[in-house]
Chain A
Amino acid sequence: KAGVTQTPRYLIKTRGQQVTLSCSPISGHRSVSWYQQTPGQGLQFLFEYFSETQRNKGNFPGRFSGRQFSNSRSEMNVSTLELGDSALYLCASSLVYRPSGHNEQFFGPGTRLTVL
């Protein structure tokens, strides 16, 4: 079974631009979560989607948004990029919605975003 895939793997943007990152979960997984990882803050939860609905959101500004499609694939968008948005963005999928119980998360390799 293929793992979680994320595209692109690397991205360089300039301040003020916007970016869209893509995540394809493991086949059969319906929950997708997004995280931002930086050396200073560690892994920070962005949001979680299940059945095309955002179920939970972290403490990030409205510039960060996402969506999930009917095939469970997900995208996240960051508008008006700032230097501080430079980070590794990780997507994770799980079989069921998190509060349902055993919810091992399977992470993708991440997208390394650099904002200049």
Chain B
Amino acid sequence: SQKIEQNSEALNIQEGKTATLTCNYTNYSPAYLQWYRQDPGRGPVFLLLIRENEKEKRKERLKVTFDTTLKQSLFHITASQPADSATYLCALDGGNEKLTFGTGTRLTIIP
């Protein structure tokens, strides 16, 4: 069956370190993968989109990789700050034109 798994429900990282979040998928062949940030009580906010023919994408302190062989995307936040604390969601096209989301990783940056 199709599945999207984000490595852990919660992740605590010391301020200044790099936070790495994982998104694994099975039985999908997505043309692209997206990452969103969601703060409590708010809707998700789009961060980055990466296409299947792109290995890596960067935006300021954010970096996303996409390995279609491993069926995995990694999301990195470098020089993490307490303001980066939020839930991060990966999403991909499930092959039937529906955007399917992972359950998210709640990231906490500890000062």
Contact = CB atoms under 8 A, between A and B. Distances in A.
B42 A43 contact: no
A45 interface: yes
Interface in B33-85: 34, 36, 41-46, 49
A64 interface: no
Nearest to B4: A42
A56 interface: yes
Q: Size band of the A side of the interface?
A: 20 to 34
Interface string A84-116: 000000101000001100111111111000000
A43 B97 contact: no
Nearest to B96: A56
Contact of B34 (A104, A109, A110): A104
Contact of B49 (A33, A92, A104): A104
Given A43-B89, A104-B46, A105-B46, A33 B99 contact: yes
Given A42-B103, A102-B49, A104-B49, A110 B98 contact: no
B100 interface: yes
Contact of B97 (A56, A105, A107): A56
B30 interface: no
A110 B44 CA distance: 10
A22 B106 CA distance: 29
B102 A98 contact: no
Contacts of B42: 109-110
A45 to B, nearest CB: 5
A58 interface: yes
Given A43-B101, A56-B98, A103-B99, 9 more contacts: A42-B101, A42-B102, A42-B104, A43-B44, A45-B99, A99-B97, A102-B49, A107-B45, A110-B41
Interface of B: 34, 36, 41-46, 49, 89, 91, 93, 96-104
